[in-house]
């Protein structure tokens, strides 16, 4: 393939409102700190300040990614924002980000595949660059403001979800073997009603006097769901790209549960040193967690030119996505 997409810059944004595990021990009147660390790896998280919204985090992460890619807002041809916590139902939050950046040349739209949204948006952006010469510089952002939808009496949700955003700049390249190598998308719609925010749309519109919409686990996913499906997706991408898993230098997964990542790496026969995680310091940031983890890994010196990076994500629905990129 002569024209491809490569990642040239990363960015990350985290709010300033800090909530350690100990906060929830007091809030819930029961010790949850030890359970959270043991079962998920989460120790800390950050929430939006009053008056702060999803687009603010997305814009901040996007600015940093542009700076690191040596680009300006005027260079951006397209903005794809992955989120299931938009500023409003309509219009798209991506258009707010376009305005705040001053990226007046850029088209912009949102993608909602819940927490698989960023990797899905990354695949979508790649296909735009491959298919249409007008798209040479694309901003892909994952942003999460789930603290706005928490039931503070529900320990299964309020202790996990956090806010944050990550972004990458994708640029067109003609360099052989650089950038995107392959992807797999997967959906199991039988779980559409298992986890989500089930109010505010046409099914259950929000009306005056209603309780605020909250995120909730309605029914359980099989405990082994990600441990079964993530390896399957990654092996499929490995087969498509002819890149053995042993040659992947960095694995970036959805950051909900460190124990699951450990189980997946064991199932893949790969050492944990090739994975990177951030949930211990930033909590679970949904559609923002994959680019935030990548950004943190880059800052930690875990990625070098020529390295293959694997992304694998899952979100409510169930939606899943996996991609391989060669770093350049």
Stated as kind and residue range, the H or E segment containing 301 is none
Residue that finishes a domain, picked among 143, 173, 203: 173
Task: State whether 191 and 144 are in the same domain.
Answer: no
Task: State whether 39 and 187 are in the same domain.
Answer: no
Question: Does the pLDDT value for residue 116 go beyond 80?
Answer: yes
Residue that finishes a domain, picked among 173, 200, 224: 173
Residue that finishes a domain, picked among 173, 203, 231: 173
Task: State whether 227 and 168 are in the same domain.
Answer: no
Task: State whether 166 and 21 are in the same domain.
Answer: yes
Task: State whether 184 and 74 are in the same domain.
Answer: no
Q: What is the pLDDT of residue 192?
A: 95
Question: Does the pLDDT value for residue 206 go beyond 90?
Answer: no
Share of the chain above pLDDT 70, in %: 100
By the 8 A CB rule, do 76 and 138 touch?
yes
119-155 pLDDT, tens digit each: 999 999 999 999 999 999 999 999 999 999 999 999 9
Task: State whether 68 and 166 are in the same domain.
Answer: yes
pLDDT confidence bin for 221, thresholds 50/70/90: confident
pLDDT confidence bin for 223, thresholds 50/70/90: confident
pLDDT confidence bin for 209, thresholds 50/70/90: confident
Q: Which CATH number goes with the domain that contains 305? A: 3.40.47.10
**Closest-CA residue to 128 (of 100, 153, 156, 107):** 107
Task: State whether 83 and 148 are in the same domain.
Answer: yes
Q: What is the mean pLDDT of residues 90-116?
A: 98
For 257-277, the DSSP string reads -HHHHHHHHHHHT--GGGB--
C-alpha to C-alpha distance for 146 and 215, rounded to whole angstroms: 8
Task: State whether 226 and 210 are in the same domain.
Answer: yes
Stated as kind and residue range, the H or E segment containing 170 is strand 163-173
By the 8 A CB rule, do 117 and 124 touch?
no
Task: State whether 83 and 191 are in the same domain.
Answer: no
pLDDT confidence bin for 52, thresholds 50/70/90: very high
Task: State whether 147 and 115 are in the same domain.
Answer: yes
pLDDT confidence bin for 210, thresholds 50/70/90: confident
228-246 pLDDT, tens digit each: 999 999 999 999 999 999 9
Q: Which structural domain, as residue segments, surrounds residue 106?
A: 4-173
Question: Does the pLDDT value for residue 184 go beyond 90?
Answer: yes
**Closest-CA residue to 240 (of 307, 310, 176):** 310
Task: State whether 136 and 31 are in the same domain.
Answer: yes
280-289 pLDDT, tens digit each: 999 999 999 9
The reported pTM is: 0.97
Question: Does the pLDDT value for residue 220 go beyond 90?
Answer: no
pLDDT confidence bin for 1, thresholds 50/70/90: low
Total of domains in the chain:
2
Task: State whether 184 and 89 are in the same domain.
Answer: no
Mean pLDDT of the chain: 96
Q: What is the pLDDT of residue 208?
A: 87
Q: What is the mean pLDDT of residues 289-295?
A: 98
């Amino acid at each position: 393939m002569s024209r491809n997409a490569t990642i040239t810059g990363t960015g990350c944004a985290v709010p300033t409102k800090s909530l350690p595990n100990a906060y929830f021990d007091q809030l819930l009147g029961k010790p949850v700190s030890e359970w959270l660390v043991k079962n998920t790896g989460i120790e800390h998280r950050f929430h939006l300040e009053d008056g702060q919204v999803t687009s603010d985090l997305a814009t901040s992460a996007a600015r940093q990614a542009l700076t690191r890619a040596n680009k300006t807002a005027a260079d951006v041809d397209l903005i794809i924002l992955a989120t299931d916590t938009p500023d409003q139902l309509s219009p798209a939050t991506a258009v707010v980000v376009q305005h705040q950046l001053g990226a007046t040349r850029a088209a912009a739209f949102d993608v909602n595949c819940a927490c698989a949204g960023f990797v899905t948006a990354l695949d979508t952006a790649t296909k735009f660059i491959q298919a249409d010469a007008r798209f040479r510089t694309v901003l892909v952002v994952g942003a999460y403001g789930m603290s706005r939808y928490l039931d503070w009496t529900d320990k299964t949700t309020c202790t996990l979800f956090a806010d944050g955003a990550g972004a990458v700049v994708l640029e067109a390249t003609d360099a052989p073997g650089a950038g995107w190598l392959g992807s797999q998308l997967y959906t199991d719609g039988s779980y559409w009603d298992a986890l989500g925010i089930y109010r505010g749309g046409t099914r259950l519109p929000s009306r005056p006097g209603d309780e605020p919409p909250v995120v909730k686990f309605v029914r359980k996913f099989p405990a082994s769901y990600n441990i079964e499906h993530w390896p399957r997706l990654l092996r499929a991408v490995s087969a498509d790209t002819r890149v053995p898993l042993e040659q992947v230098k960095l694995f970036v997964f959805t950051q909900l549960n460190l124990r699951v990542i450990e189980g997946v790496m064991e199932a893949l026969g790969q050492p944990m040193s090739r994975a990177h995680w951030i949930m211990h310091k930033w909590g679970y940031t949904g559609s923002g967690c994959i680019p935030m983890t990548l950004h943190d890994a880059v800052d930690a010196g875990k990625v070098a030119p020529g390295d293959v990076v694997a992304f694998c994500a899952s979100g409510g629905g169930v939606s899943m996505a996996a991609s391989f990129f060669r770093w350049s």
